[in-house]
A and B are shown apart, each in its own frame.
Chain A
Amino acid sequence: MDFTFTPEQEALREQAREFLAANPEPSWGQLAELGWTGVSVAEEQGGAGLTFVEEAVLFEELGRTLYRGPYFSTIALTLPALPDELRAEVAAGTTSWTLALGPLVPDLDTADRVAVVGGDGIYELENAEREVLTTSDESRSLGVVRGGETGRRLADATVLGEIEARSLTALSLEACGVARRALEYAIEYASTREQFGKRIGVYQAVSHPLADAYTRLELSRSLALWAAWCVATGDPQTPLAAGAAKASAAESAVAVCETSIQVLGGIGFTWEHELHRLYKRALGIESFGASGTRLRAELAAALLDEKSEQVPAPAPAPVPVEQGG
């Protein structure tokens, strides 16, 4: 059992952090030059032949910087549906995609091509009218497609399970990146801002909610990384892990942002400070795709309604916690 990143994965995170700090609004071509669009594309198609764990590192960092562009819609939503030669185009940076899974489609303003779910498969949608809508979260666009013709069949519907898992997990990882940045703002502020003659981080009314925010974030991040590993290896627990991660991480990111806004006081409530943009992304992640309520209902059905190995016959037994003195 090893739940650490390799030195190469750590180096990728460092590269991403530095690059995104210097280039907060990178183009699709820039991401392709870095090799990010082909991370999990096979080497024969010009990719790096790596896994979703490496992509997980990038989703976390892209979330942290509120990256605006078609990375999520191409890599998390559409890539599993693409045939080899179209994957090669993604890796090369010549094409980006989005997938209309529901009525609100992400990244319609930046994605080159649009895919749709038909009855039995996923198809390219050609010549459709795109309308980008006004959204609270300005760092991820949502829009609607109208009309158009169904073009090439890209994949059959069996790939939808993988798309759902990648999407939920990528959103969880973005949420962790968002929450980390918000928490950093709050810690920095609580460590420097003085009131009543002391730095406000001294007061437990401030520090304990921050400890809770950190705790929520770390718990959610553990779930998101578990889900990422499941997606990367095709583990049978993938749907459970991805659902648990999204339900937890979206809620945590919202809560961490709210704590941080409170800690920053009036500053945290201003348009000028970045916190509200992080908060709006967190809220956007929470509302995108399956909600926490729905994911927990699905989980409860799996735990409570079916014959499951999780559940042995009821038998009261000791709980091994004996401490004190």
Chain B
Amino acid sequence: MDLRDTPEEAAFRSELRSWLEENVPQELRGHRGGAARFDGPAMRAWSRALYDAGYAGLTWPEEYGGGGAPYTHQAIFLEEMARAEAPPHVGVIGLGMAGPTIMAHGTEDHKARYLAPILSAEEIWCQGFSEPEAGSDLAGVRTSSRLEDGHFVVDGQKVWSSFAHLADWCILLTRSDPGSTRHAGLTYLIVDMHAPGVDVRPLTQITGEAEFNEIFFTGVRVPTDNLLGEVGGGWQVAMTTLLHERGTLGFALQAALEVQVRKLISLARDRGADQLQRDRIAREWIEMQAVRFTNYRSLSALMKTGLPGPEGSISKLVWSEANQRITKLALEILGPDAALADGNAPYGGYWQYQQLRSRGNTIEAGTSEVLRSIIAERILGLPKSR
């Protein structure tokens, strides 16, 4: 047990810290969050700069253009990014989900074609899993794919798709066997978002922003080369994607929580906090440290055994509820000014936006109800409820 950086980790951290000080564009540091910050050329340029400096896909194998670095470097990277309040690489879905899935299930041609442009931010990905009738219960997927003269023809509707309005590619879960139910008969495709028949419609959220989208597929022709895994074997491929979604999420969330707690402390120093609020601020600081060291335990287990420790699966559950408490506490500290919005609100409406946005945190990427059932069944070994 040694919680300090190794000399090699310390060198990596120090080099990264100086690089961030010199390279994070000022205009990208000031954004209150939300989807809009990903639009426009500045984010592409920033992502490209991360790539050129070797910080995109740190843990990806070198043969696919990654850094081949240990997971500890990824953890340090996310900590330092949070410390510098730097925006993430625009390829969130590509780096965290599509890329790892292609590495696990793709052909050599797939890897050669798709992986490098994810890292360089030349191509953006989105995820087409959820549907109006398939939310937490993903096995209810209905979007269909049928083989027709050398193509899959896709019809259906996906929903809650982040980045779809920017995306070049979509990882899409379809039902290829119309007679099948549940986990059988699903097929996982890579779909060109610029193909005829793909229609993206933004969904305006309670924040007033459109961060997610609906995607409608009408007779979209997808080359059979774009199949990931086997026809009918889509469920297994989708599980790889979700494993990576939750697996890589822990440290990003911890970094997000550190930023949020730091801002809460700044706010309280700025505006004052009463004794009860001070107690709650201390609680959130303790919770943030607890998430950090729980992630460290999970990461250490991953480094030693190749499998993440079970503690890691609680990060998302804990972070989402902490973020809801923190943002609400911030509004309380703002007092009557909490009713103001956007430019009329203190700090550009940062806390008002964050508080509303936080309501999505316990829903997206696995609802808290689903996560509690996962903990109960897979970690505690309680009898299965379904």
Contact = CB atoms under 8 A, between A and B. Distances in A.
Interface of A: 1-6, 9, 53, 187, 190-191, 198-199, 201-204, 207-208, 210-212, 214-215, 218-220, 222-223, 225-226, 229, 241, 244, 247-248, 293, 295-297, 299-300, 303-304, 310-325
A218 B364 contact: no
Q: Is the interface of B mostly helix, strand, loop or mixed?
A: helix
7 shortest interchain CB distances as A-B pairs: A325-B127, A317-B85, A316-B350, A296-B282, A201-B382, A222-B293, A207-B376
Contacts of B382: 187, 190-191, 201-202, 207, 210
Contact of B300 (A1, A198, A202): A1
B82 A296 contact: no
Contacts of B161: 324-325
Report which residue of A187, A313, A315 has the largest number of chain B beta carbons within 10 angstroms of its beta carbon. A315
Interface string B70-97: 0010010010011001011000110000
Nearest to A220: B290
A218 B294 contact: yes
B265 interface: yes
A187 B81 CA distance: 40
Given A3-B3, A295-B282, 16 more contacts: A1-B3, A2-B2, A2-B300, A191-B381, A204-B373, A214-B379, A218-B311, A222-B293, A311-B266, A314-B263, A316-B31, A318-B32, A318-B37, A321-B252, A322-B35, A325-B164
B314 interface: yes
Nearest to A235: B3
B296 interface: yes
23 contacts: A1-B6, A1-B299, A53-B1, A191-B383, A198-B383, A202-B384, A203-B385, A207-B385, A211-B380, A225-B1, A244-B290, A247-B286, A304-B273, A312-B266, A316-B31, A316-B347, A317-B85, A318-B31, A318-B88, A323-B162, A324-B365, A325-B126, A325-B128
Contacts of A297: 275, 278-279, 282
Contacts of B347: 314, 316
A212 B300 contact: no
A4 B30 contact: no
Interface in B251-301: 252-253, 255-256, 259-260, 262-263, 265-270, 273, 275, 278-279, 281-283, 285-287, 289-294, 296-297, 299-301
